[in-house]
Structure 1
Amino acid sequence: MRGPRFTAVLGIVLLVGITVLFVTGLLSYAAYNPNLSPVNDQTPDKGILGFYLFSWPTNPYWLYRLNQGVHVTLGITLIPVLLAKLWSVVPRLFTLPPARSLAHALERISLLLLVGGALFQFTTGVLNVQLDYVFPGSFYTLHFYGAWVFFAAFVAHVALKLPTALRNLRRLRAEKAEKPENAEKPEDSDLVTPRPAEPTVSRRGAFGLVGGASLLLFATSVGRNFDGPLRQTALLTPHGGPEPGSGPGGFQINKTAAYAGIDTRETTGDTWQLVVTGRTGDVRLSREDLLRLPLHSAALPIACVEGWSTSDQWWRGVRLRDLAALVGYDDPADVLVESLQRRGAFRRAALRANQVADPRSLLALDVNGEPLTLDHGYPARIIVPAAPGVLNTKWVARMTFGDL
């Protein structure tokens, strides 16, 4: 069963799948643009790896939900294919001598980076999906730079091995019309076990096993991207059980107020004030002041980097562009949003002018006809169409408008 044909088929699947993972991963970083300076800045066109950053669009409003759903679901689905591919090339990993020439040495180095990078990226990705941060440092930094190292090795490996993989696939089709003893010896024949035991499963059976495992993982994770009963099938992704609680606030919460270190005394009407800063100085607004401003509604989901999303919720609040106008910006500008949050990442989040300008972008005060609950960001939170959940800042304390 182990041999170049088995490896070639798995390699073609991974070629397509990992390319999609890399592209959707880069788009995800463009959407929430974490601070990875000095190599990658928070601002488009800055930093060595920031060349592709752009102002993330707000239409369609489900854009990030789709992008991250594909990224996470596909990543989980490809795990059996990756493991089978690594198993199929184990003999090559331990061939001696380790390098027969300079070209062979470069190939072995790229293979080391490829295997190590794949294991690192898939492991950290799965841990992040499960909200299990056991690795040192920030997941965002590790996964971003790890992706570039891995994909560089992946491209080098594909450039070296794709012609061989395609030739082996053509030989596989040609052998159906030939007798085995007359068939041409395939390339990469060192992958074949020299003294194989009696077969216990055919190559077709092995493909069925890998495909079945991938299908099982897909079926038990994809439901988190949809509404209705299908959500309950998402057993392997975070928040796979019933929606929390009931009533207007009965939808998913990523970080509770307790986890974020929110002091409830700071959120009461007597003490909380939103500070809005801009060209004309500071404006301080209580929740009652905000409720007296023109209020608007929008039906938007929350979609998080871990791959889960909520159904559309009805949010009601003050438009961000109206708050910008209060401090001298008739034309919407970038805004830096700061939270009362004390623990966890993204206590500060940057939104671009096009996001502020969208009439559906709100400083939300109510959801589904009731005031926000504390875990959903009371007294006020950001909600922006197509934005990652990390940019929909909860427990907002300050908003600074201007070029960032």
Structure 2
Amino acid sequence: MDHRPSLSEPPKSPPSPPLPPLPTDPGFWRSPVRGVRFTAVLGLVLLVGLTLVFVTGLLSYAAYNPDLAPVNDKTPDRGWLGFYLFDWPTDPYWLYRLTQGFHVTVGIALIPVVLAKLWSVIPRFFALPPVRSLAHALERISLLLLVGGVLFELITGVLNIQLEYLFPGSFYPLHFYGAWVFFAGFVAHAALKLPKALAAIRSGELRSARPGGGAGAYRAPGGPADDDLASPRPAAPTVSRRGALAVVGAGSLFMLLTTAGRSFDGPLRRTALLAPHGWEDPGSGPNGFQINKTAASVGVRAAETTDAWRLTLGGPAGEIRLSRAQLLAMSQHTSELPIACVEGWATSNQSWRGVRLRDLAVLAGCPADSPPGVFVESLQRRGSFRTGALRDNQVRDGRSLLALQVNGADLSLDHGFPARIIVPAAPGVLNTKWVTALTFGGV
């Protein structure tokens, strides 16, 4: 019998290879490390860490300007977001160094955890249908605010730390309002996910020594019944979940060790490889400590600081102009204080000498027992902080000085010669350099 195909029949084509899975297919995501318990551990770390970063960030704004007025910040007035504000204290003198050091250092150390958490939940971004119920819609919205907010805060924060102002507008209102957007998503997401995360942690799967943590199979026996992060066809395991967490922890430790040293002087500062004002040598001598911005970088010329320089005092007594020699002839006082900046770096205590701000307030005609706040102007031409404002409690503190000398020598030009502000517990940017005018009661 002839089995040859008929000339009238078309030849049969070979079967088409199966199409590769799309990201919307759970089988597309094959890592055996993913699972709700792995994500839950990262989430609990972030719950504690990001809460600390958020709170210390709010404290930073209170320290800068308790009214959030447009002196150092473009945020209009206090607004309804200013409910937490208070007059930033001057004691202990190292307070801002502590709070901002934690804010920046912990924030940087959490970057590997944030990235690992986003990697662990990426299948959910592609899950279909995008909305299954009202509760699921709320979860998706909170996730959008959370992910968008945390990435925005980390990116703008890191750029600010690196002194790279690539974002449109002022860093301070952008970071401030971004923090509140993040916090809204953070609270909503934590409320929705915390019970599930705690239940996943209690199940103990991460204690398994088996590669993949015992959750290589989709909805594996003994695993949570709704583990939508575990792959239905996982790849061969290369690392256990505990090992993956160890890698994330090592990344955080590396970020910590290469950043934290900026808050200290001496050899530790040289370990801050990823931070400005870390490894560079500030020089030696009385003025041999870290400088944030040099005179040249902000347009201050040495010729402006010669004998022709005058300090203008404003207040009830009218305008008074004082030379540096006249300021040196006034009663001089010494304060042992550090400088701590928003970028998270700090100096050790330096010995500052000059005229107390409250004495200058009295000279300007203000009452000695209750001097008002002061508006400070600088010779600085470039940058955001040509002016600054100090509150009345800061002016009253006897350690608050218009400093003329440091460590027994005249200020260098880069450290603010002929005169600069130094105030206990104040952010470094409020310790204005190259001061040219003080207006008491003008805040």
What is the CA deviation profile of residues 294-339 of structure 1, one whole-angstrom value per residue up to 9, with x for unaligned ones?
Answer: 0011111110000001111111100000000001211221101011
Per-residue deviation at 1:224?
1.3
Distance 2:205 2:241 in 1: 14
1:292 corresponds, among 306, 315, 329, to: 329
Equivalent runs, 1:30-109 vs 2, <5 Å: 30-33=62-65, 35=69, 40-41=75-76, 46-109=78-141
Contact 1:301/1:313 (8 A) holds in 2? yes
Distance 2:280 2:207 in 1: 52
Equivalent runs, 1:120-269 vs 2, <5 Å: 120-172=152-204, 183-186=221-224, 188-269=226-307
Distance 2:230 2:205 in 1: 19
Distance 1:253 1:29 in 2: 22
| Match of residue 364 from structure 1 | 403
| Match of residue 439 from structure 2 | 400
Percent sequence identity over aligned pairs:
67
Amino acid in the other structure paired with 2:195:
P
Distance 1:207 1:280 in 2: 65
| 3-state DSSP of counterpart to 1:336 | strand
Per-residue deviation at 1:39?
8.6
Please tell me whether Structure 1 or Structure 2 has the larger radius of gyration of its CA atoms.
2
Distance 2:381 2:206 in 1: 64
Distance 1:133 1:17 in 2: 26
Amino acid in the other structure paired with 1:208:
A
Contact 2:372/2:392 (8 A) holds in 1? yes
1:303 corresponds, among 327, 340, 347, to: 340
Distance 1:230 1:55 in 2: 33
Amino acid in the other structure paired with 1:373:
S
Distance 2:234 2:220 in 1: 21
Going from structure 1 to structure 2, the CA distance change for 1:97 and 1:173 (only over 3 Å counts) comes to closer
Which has the larger displacement, 99-108 or 205-214? 99-108
CA-atom RMSD in angstroms: 2.0
Amino acid in the other structure paired with 2:114:
L
Contact 2:376/2:438 (8 A) holds in 1? yes
Contact 2:262/2:345 (8 A) holds in 1? yes
Per-residue deviation at 1:183?
4.8
What is the CA deviation profile of residues 199-240 of structure 1, one whole-angstrom value per residue up to 9, with x for unaligned ones?
Answer: 010111101101111111111111111233211111112111
Distance 1:129 1:174 in 2: 36
Amino acid in the other structure paired with 1:234:
A
Q: TM-score, normalised by structure 2?
A: 0.86
Going from structure 1 to structure 2, the CA distance change for 1:101 and 1:300 (only over 3 Å counts) comes to same
Instruction: State whether structure 2 residue 316 is matched by structure 1 residue 279.
Output: yes
Per-residue deviation at 1:41?
4.3
Distance 2:206 2:421 in 1: 60
Distance 1:67 1:237 in 2: 18
Which has the larger displacement, 344-353 or 27-36? 27-36
| 3-state DSSP of counterpart to 1:189 | coil
Per-residue deviation at 1:242?
3.7
Instruction: State whether structure 2 residue 77 is matched by structure 1 residue 21.
Output: no
What is the CA deviation profile of residues 14-39 of structure 1, one whole-angstrom value per residue up to 9, with x for unaligned ones?
Answer: 00000000000000010012546999
Distance 1:187 1:263 in 2: 70
